[in-house]
Structure 1
């Protein structure tokens, strides 16, 4: 009986030790360097030059805050990403932690050469999430990209991600491309990758200081409006402004955007579109591929600069819808044709649609799909339903010209 009690007591003690004891392999937050972003450029002594943005944990703790920078930038050269990480561990007495990394920035020189050896480690390493965002960086501006501060966003990578998301959510601008999407598009047939392009305008050493974030007039700015275009595994060019917006629309990734058309010399009507849905199909007609695009959207009139063009009557909504249909059809068609003639690169995913709808034909042409895409006919059909004109019916420009009293 005594032995049984001793055995039960021992079991209870063991369970308590297992449940209440701390983790044997725990690491205190103060001993971690939380890596939030990695930049990769061509090296001089070694293959690559790596930049690591790390969060300073103490600046996020009220009792330990010293009012210094919220993040640090470390850099070194190595032949592989794993070697650069080891070098950081030897340089500072903190353990690099990659589980919260959100951004990888790649110099466009590497992308134009089709050099991706550094991504193999990112694809394998269990701490790195495959939903983080990839961007291309122009003009060898990797250090300024990770050093430029802004109001309330003193961690540069957070600023880049927030600016990208705002562009995408509000105006249908650049779409944040994930590591998984980029690798899938590189390794599968039917769609070539795209990446957002980051560029620093008017770079200045002053932008690297915390005081710069407090200034009202800032000369150094981050431009994220361009899209990097790839053919196969190499970057071959960029698209900007309207064409970049049209690419996002054609990829069915635009939630909201704005289209304008001319109603008079140098005067426009602007409409904000929502609920944008785009379907794409590929068929062969007399042994020639035909790319078909169907787009539907609802909209609201944003502004009217032409007096007496619109008074709020239902028949005038119909007129605006038809004009928008024609305008958007021309723009989308022109963007596709530009990709066919200038780059011969299907970044829209028409090849994927052919693979789904006619796999036998896709297998026949998949190794030369970019050439098939370049010789295809293009047919675009758009239906926009502008239903509202904001809180006003008749524009005030009408009331200026047609004074009633």
Structure 2
């Protein structure tokens, strides 16, 4: 008798739970994989959504729909009126912001996605050169699903550490932090190709400048640690020790991988302020062109010093540019606020201090193995 009662309770529970849950059959919904935002007319928001629809035979097609409304939710309703299936955002992987929109303030677009329980905090965010609508609606010859293509493009570059990581969670953290500004990848169309073209620098919620894609290496190595990756740098004539050369040359191109780095940031003067930035890099050099005199350890040591000089100079250049536009994407202000008691630091106060901040960059580069020299 007791077993019968337990069975009835379980069955009733399942019945009521089933009645409370709204089921979404795959062939009855449209899955939004990517959303792009642009400035619309008369203060409206223009939204371009990439939506994948699956039919009962599990064949799928991709729709790209552009709408304009006063709110993001209004745009979703407008898109729903154009499709035969209900639009769902649980599979969204990327949010793109048009460049003009990014230069105003992105807070609304952060909050509207953070407040939506169906949107994962791990989605990627990026800025599009120009507007997102023509970028997404362009008919690419070799790209069937532009939403999935952009997601995989960003994901593989982030994993290989060719580009900075900019998830919704990370962007929101940097946006609401006092003493740190956010940065995002920049993406563009180059004829039939889609490529990551740079790094967008923000002051508060507004994009104020950009760096070329190759500078993502220096941004990441100052902001974080490097564990994998591949990088190529050029030593100019002034950086090349003459004793390591087999023959005179104006430049040496060096490729290295298996990069492992760590950084140590020390506040040495709170009034100025002034920091010591010590970066240790261990890496394997893959190629050097043209050939160098690498017959003994002294030549390799000279090469290490030359690379240290080059990386230090490039890091200083990138930091100086961020200071010029008052965008602390590296988090020097967070370090300052954690050390200086009663600093009463505000975003405005830190941006003024940051512009005149001094950073002493010290790089230690160790070659793990000489690799293949060409």
TM-score range, shorter chain: 0.7 to 0.9
Match of 1:261 in 2: 235
TM-score normalized by the length of structure 1: 0.80
Match of 1:370 in 2: 351
SS across alignment from 1:288: coil
* 1:225 positional shift: 2.5
Candidates 270, 279, 287, aligned match of 1:303: 287
- 1:1-400 alignment, distance < 5 Å: 9=4, 12-16=7-11, 18-19=13-14, 23-24=18-19, 25-44=22-41, 47-58=44-55, 63-65=57-59, 70-145=61-136, 147=138, 149=140, 151=142, 154-170=144-160, 172-202=161-191, 220-252=192-224, 254-255=226-227, 256-258=229-231, 259-262=233-236, 263=240, 264-273=248-257, 274-284=259-269, 287-311=271-295, 313-341=296-324, 343-361=325-343, 363-364=344-345, 367-390=348-371, 392=372, 395=373
Over alpha carbons, which structure has the higher Rg? 1
In structure 2, list runs of 5 or more residues that go unmatched. Answer: 241-247
* 1:75 positional shift: 2.0
Question: How far does the alpha carbon of each residue in 1:191-245 deviate from its partner, in whole angstroms, 9 at most, with x for none?
Answer: 111111111123xxxxxxxxxxxxxxxxx22131311111122111111144343
Q: How many pairs are equivalent? A: 359
- Residues 14 and 90 of structure 1, relative CA distance in 2, 3 Å threshold: farther
Moved >6 Å (runs of 4+): none
- Residues 253 and 141 of structure 1, relative CA distance in 2, 3 Å threshold: farther
* 1:319 positional shift: 1.5
* 1:19 positional shift: 4.5
- Residues 322 and 199 of structure 1, relative CA distance in 2, 3 Å threshold: same
Question: How far does the alpha carbon of each residue in 1:305-328 deviate from its partner, in whole angstroms, 9 at most, with x for none?
Answer: 2345223x2222212111111111
* 1:38 positional shift: 0.9
- Residues 340 and 18 of structure 1, relative CA distance in 2, 3 Å threshold: closer
SS across alignment from 1:91: coil
In structure 1, list runs of 5 or more residues that go unmatched. Answer: 203-219, 397-405
